[in-house]
Amino acid sequence: MAAAQAGYQVAAMDAFHDAETRRFCMWSALLRYANGGFDAGDVWQKLSSLEGVTGVMYGSGFENQPELLEKIAAHYPLLGNDAGIIAKTKHPLEFFTLLDQLNISHPPVQYTPPADGDWLIKSAGGSGGTHIRESGQAQDDDYFQRKVEGIPVSVLFLADGSQARIVGFNEQWCAPTHAVPYRYGGAVSQANLPERTKTQMADAAQQLTAHFALRGLNSLDCILARDEVLVLEINPRLTATFDLYDQLFEHHLQACKGMLMPLCAATKAKAHVIVYAPHHIYIPESFIWPDWVVDTPLDAVFKNQPLCTVLASAADAFSAKNLVFARASQLEAQLASFYSLDDPS
């Protein structure tokens, strides 16, 4: 949507195919998606059917199969980090060994089952928090990370291959279920963090940019445990917090080319909340969505799948967060009147 608003003709493929994507893009399609990634054959079939593609930009869903990005890059200009960078940043042993070498703090990790139960199981290349489990059988690409209590935070930054320019600091939160306790729930920009915390996060972003030669928009996920910042992972691609800042599309394109454009100071904090379907649900066309809701569905939505995104902005992060949660509660109350698709009545 950001590309279309910037004046580009856009063809889009994703796992949701929401109303806004269909409206803003000249062409769009629904992709098959499972286990944290896209169906490679489906992606390639749809992409190769298009004519006049001048560049391919990607978000989540590719980290666990960088070979798909490598195939795309062999035929089209890739507007973001290449497959080699994705593979290196998402290889747990390589990434956390590097953090140790750079003296960047992170929760303890190990690659064999721990003796005690106070660990999380994470999948290499996973995204959206749905791959994180507190128990269960580990798979071949899983690793273990010590569970740490704290506030999830992130820093969004632009990179030109050697230098990082900070876009903003964010607070994040989860939308937990029993099966996926760390599912992504939303975020707010302009997070009120201690200056020491911001400095640590910015320094980590700079060191990782220089080491991996990152380009374009990237983000670094951390947890603020008391006064200590612990790095959890890096996302070397467009992330959900991209939407919390204005007019970043051209900045991303230029950074991919090795140029960092001046940033305008944000005047407001923005927040979004992902609303998940409470049951299998269909929203009738007659339903009038509030103007602070985007990513709305045109079709049925299955239980626990993303239903829409609620937006809010305010003078500061605290006010924006309160407003977005109030709006989400208001919307959920309105949607409660709709019957479940599998309700026999």
Rounded to whole angstroms, how far apart are CA atoms 290 and 294?
Answer: 9
Distance CA 200, CA 231 (A): 10
For residue 4, the SS3 value is helix
Q: Look at the domain 2-86 and name its fold.
A: Rossmann fold (3.40.50)
| 139: three-class secondary structure by DSSP | coil
Contact 297/284 with Cβ under 8 angstroms? no
Residues 6+ apart with CB under 8 A from 68: 38, 40, 43, 44, 62
Bridge partner residues of 143 (DSSP): 122
- What pLDDT does 48 receive? 95
Domain 87-256 matching CATH 3.30.470.20: the answer reads yes
Q: Where are the domains of the chain?
A: 2-86, 87-256, 269-335
**How would DSSP label each residue in 193-233?**
--HHHHHHHHHHHHHHHHHHT-EEEEEEEEEEETTEEEEEE
- 45 SS3 class: helix
pLDDT digits (tens), the chain, 345 positions: 678 777 889 999 998 888 888 888 999 999 988 767 789 999 999 999 999 999 999 998 888 889 999 999 999 999 999 999 999 999 999 999 999 999 999 999 999 999 887 999 999 988 888 889 887 778 888 999 999 999 999 999 999 999 999 999 999 999 999 989 999 999 999 999 999 999 999 999 999 999 999 999 999 999 999 889 999 999 999 999 999 999 899 999 999 999 999 999 888 999 999 999 988 898 888 899 999 999 999 888 989 999 999 999 999 999 999 999 999 999 999 998 886 666 444
Dihedrals phi, psi of 138, to nearest 5 degrees: -75, 145
pLDDT at 345: 40
Give 292's Cβ-side CA count (13 Å radius).
Answer: 20
Strand 11-14 relative to strand 27-30, pairing: parallel
pLDDT at 157: 98
Place of tokens 């960092």: 260
What local confidence, expressed as pLDDT, does residue 136 receive? 78
